[in-house]
Structure 1
């Protein structure tokens, strides 16, 4: 996972969030986060790289669209990355994040 770009890691998180999304669903979700237009020429080569790295699986959704799914390796890599990120944060900040997560769950 350390050799992925931030954009590629964000793609993994989006695929984990959505249920077998197609490319445009991934693009729309990323655009909300990035607050900018994500071009096809940026998205699809990065999806292909993640497929080649065996982090995601690509299948046919219909005649025009592919769908993407996290592979077990992709899940393990996300978990490992998240654990590392959390280990870098001070406990008071983690506590604040827990408060935010609890509030969002309650809403």
Structure 2
């Protein structure tokens, strides 16, 4: 996970939290969070990078819609990241 950009990490986290994560659903969630438009030219190459790193798998729902799922490695990386973060902010949030 250390070699992901913050945006790529956010893509992974959002995909992990959605029931049926597809590109536009992930895009909508991130646009709400970032409060700015995310262009397809930024979204899909970064999703492909996360897939190439083995953290997400990409499948097809239909001819136009890709669906993403978090791999076992992706879940492990999220868990490790959360443990790492908690050592620094645990006292703040109790």
- When normalised by structure 1's length, the TM-score is 0.85
Partner residue in 1 for 2:63? 63
Partner residue in 2 for 1:4? 4
Q: Which has the higher contact order (CA 8 A, sep 6+)?
A: 2
Distance 1:44 1:34 in 2: 17
Distance 2:32 2:18 in 1: 14
Partner residue in 2 for 1:28? 28
Structure 1 gaps of 5+ residues are: 96-107
State the 4+ residue runs in structure 1 displaced beyond 2 angstroms: none
Aligned pair count?
Answer: 94
Structure 1 position 64, deviation (Å): 0.8
SS at match of 2:20: coil
Structure 2 gaps of 5+ residues are: none
Matches within 5 A, 1:1-107: 1-91=1-91, 93-95=92-94
- When normalised by structure 2's length, the TM-score is 0.96
Q: Which structure is larger by alpha-carbon Rg, 1 or 2?
A: 1
RMSD of Structure 2 on Structure 1 (CA): 0.8
